Amino acid sequence: MELTAHQQHLLDKTIPEALDYAAEQWPDNLALTHIEGGGPTLTWAELRERISRVRTGLERLGVTPGDKVGIMLGNQVEFPLAWLAVIEAGAVAVPMNPKYTPREIDFVLSDAGGRWLVAGAGVVTGNLAEGRVGPVPAERIVAVGEPVAGTQDFTSLTSQAPTPRTHRPDPGDVVNIQFTSGTTGLPKGCLLTHTYWVHIGVYAAAIGDAQRILADHPFYYMQNQAYLMMALSNGGGLYVTPGLSRRKFMNWLVDHQIDMAWIDEGMLDFPESEADRQLALKKAPVSALPPTLHEPLERRFGLRAREVYGSTEVGNGTYVPYERTDTVGTGSMGWCFPQRETKIIDRNGDEVEPGRPGELCFRGPGMMLGYHNRPETNAELFLPGGWFRTGDIVRKDADGQHYYEGRSRDMIRRSGENIAAAEVELQIMALPEVAEVGVIPVPDPQRDEEVKAVVVLKPGATLTAQEIEAWCLQGLARFKVPRYVEFRDHLPHTSSGKIAKAELRAEPPSDRIVDLRAS
């Protein structure tokens, strides 16, 4: 992998320094373009100036280095402005899903130690109770959109000339607490640094040199944040959509001549059309693409699709170079990014010989520092020597090439949202009628996976699927609520007494399942 002089220069820099450099190198290049929704189009020089204004406004309100600032916004210009301004002020950004329920808001802000909140006016008014949202009082809430009585107004942050920044961070300072769905309970906050984000941007940009990046994932997850750092590393720009859309995807690619977008095999489900050969997209990252569909996908759309493996915890993990046509259809995850090492371990933590499957472990600079407030989990997942256990089962050949075998952690991926089965199970188990529940993914052609709850009731208890749905809606965001509910007399268990999720997932569909979206 070859880095440009600009990218090499950035590797040891902080995010504000990287922004300065982008604004100097490519002042007139477009940085942000909003495809829908009427958001502004900003060059790198304009974005740099607006970030400085927002940072100045936050500092005048009283935001200080080390403060934790929740950011609860959708795909709108205020998200990257707030995210980067918070970081520039030396504070720590805590991105949050605007779909969170009051319980989830309170948990995330309390767990992170949130002192401030930047959120849409509708989110604020819908969750403001007794003069606060979660633990954050109204006077430390910045509302975006219509003014909300008792809170600060985002627009006023940009009304005065920016002051010179005074905070001088270290590249190893934490800038994000990025919450990711855990597999053993409630979400956990990943501690991410300047180096984490700069490395993601630099190495992602070096793979494909994209200039028109489709930012169709939520900004409150890491994908769009990573895309922004990628654009910053080579003078490209983001084309921001309101969110994921299968229906609009091809039009976005063609109309805006997108040359970088994350794709999957679902593109083959689109009706064939002239647009298939009108794509500027010639290189595209994929994840866990079925090997049998790899060559048909490339042939139909005239592009090269290559696997990239990463996570919120690891950042960049492995990748397949675009010139390696010999990997098409092999299921290869590729080789390590330059700043990464891997080893594959067995259940005892011992490294296995090449070709044997085991748990994938990473180490190297620019990974998360650990989970915020989770010393026991950190002790379990970080091994001596700086190795992080991913929970994914992988085999690694003698040439350093990786192949995905499965996942050991209990996750569901629905329409781009990560859902921890354990969190849904905790909510359902709070019902007094429930004796036991297992939550598993089921395949869905539109959403990748859907959530299914297999429920065992206590003797003599009665409960309907609709009542379970209503209860889940009280404590979980809508996207986490099960679509399918099945009642059983008992669940299968492993020899250690845990619910045998693999057995549940392998069972054929049952006529006892209630589809709550069909009712």
- 519 pLDDT exceeds 70? no
- Cα dist from 409 to 177, 391, 413, whole Å: 21, 6, 12
CB 69 within 8 A of CB 182: no
Q: Lowest-confidence range among 37-51, 129-143, 435-449, 464-478?
A: 435-449
- Angle between helices 15-25 and 194-208 in degrees, nearest 10: 40
Which of 178, 195, 212 terminates a domain? The answer is 195
Q: Rounded mean pLDDT of 494-499? A: 66
Q: What is the pLDDT of residues 187-242, one digit of tens each?
A: 899 999 999 999 999 999 999 789 999 999 999 999 999 999 999 999 999 999 99
Cβ neighbours of residue 433 under 8 Å, at least 6 residues apart? 457, 458, 461, 462, 463
Domain-located, residue 111: yes
Q: Which residues pair with residue 332 across a beta bridge?
A: 403
Which CA distances in Å does 364 have to 7, 20, 159, 368, 406? 18, 26, 42, 10, 23
12 in a domain, yes or no? Answer: yes
**Section 1-22 average pLDDT:** 93
Whether 239 is in a domain gets the answer no
pLDDT for the residue numbered 183? 44
What percentage of the chain has pLDDT greater than the value 70? 97
Measuring CA to CA, which residue among 148, 145, 160, 135 is closest to residue 52? 160
Cβ count near 65 (within 10 Å): 14
Using the 3D structure, point to which of 151, 180, 195 is the last residue of a domain: 195
pLDDT band at 409 (very low <50, low <70, confident <90, very high): low
- Domain span at residue 152 reads 5-161+169-195
Query: Taking all residues of the chain, what is their mean pLDDT, rounded to a whole number?
Result: 92
Which pLDDT value is given to residue 184? Answer: 46
Q: Does residue 243 lie in a domain region?
A: no
Q: Interior CA angle at 93 toward 90 and 95, to 5°?
A: 170
- Of 33 and 495, which is predicted with more confidence? 33
Q: What is the pLDDT of residue 144?
A: 97
For the segment 39-60, what is each residue's pLDDT rounded down to a tens digit? Answer: 899 999 999 999 999 999 999 9
Number of domains in the chain: 2
Which helix (H) or strand (E) segment is 126 a member of? Answer: helix 121-127
Query: Which range, of 181-190, 256-265, 266-275, 479-488, averages the lowest pLDDT?
Result: 181-190
357-363 vs 152-153, strand pairing mode: unpaired
425 domain residue, yes or no = yes
- Name which residue leads in pLDDT, 329 or 183: 329
Residue 410 has pLDDT above 80, yes or no: no
Encode 172-202: b = buried (16+ Cβ within 10 Å), e = exposed.
Answer: ebbbbbbbbbbbeeebbbbbbbbbbbbbbbb
Cα–Cα distances in angstroms (integers) from residue 13 to residues 19, 220, 248, 352, in the given order: 10, 23, 37, 37
Distance CA 191, CA 106 (A): 19
The pLDDT assigned to 494 comes to: 67
- pLDDT (tens digit, 9 = 90+) per residue, 414-435? 887 778 787 888 899 889 999 9
Give me 339's structure tokens.
């700043």
Residue 70 lies in a domain: yes
The confidence band for 311, taking pLDDT boundaries of 50, 70 and 90, is very high
Give dist(CA 221, CA 178) in Å, integer: 8
* Alpha-helix residue ranges (DSSP H) falling in 302-437: 375-381, 421-429
**Domain assignment of residue 262, yes or no:** no
CATH number at residue 479: 3.30.300.30
Supply the pLDDT for residue 444.
87
For the chain, give percent helix, strand, coil, nearest 5.
30, 30, 40
Instruction: For the chain, give the percent of residues with pLDDT over 90.
Output: 77
Token pair, residue 508, equals: 């054929």
Is residue 212 domain-resident?
no
Q: From the centroid of its chain, how far is CA 144? A: 22
Contacts of 362 (CB under 8 A, 6+ apart): 314, 317, 340, 341, 342, 387, 388, 390
Q: What is residue 432's predicted lDDT score, i.e. its pLDDT?
A: 93
Judged against a pLDDT cut of 90, whether residue 342 lies above it is answered with yes
Taking only the tens place, the pLDDT of each residue in 359-408 is: 999 999 999 999 999 999 999 999 999 999 998 889 999 999 999 876 65
- Beta pairing, strands 114-120 & 68-72: parallel
Instruction: Annotate 460-493 with b (16+ C-beta within 10 A) or e (fewer).
Output: eeebebeebbebbeebbbebbbbbbbbbbeebee
Q: What is the DSSP letter of 267?
A: G
Contact present, 205 and 237 (Cβ < 8 Å): no
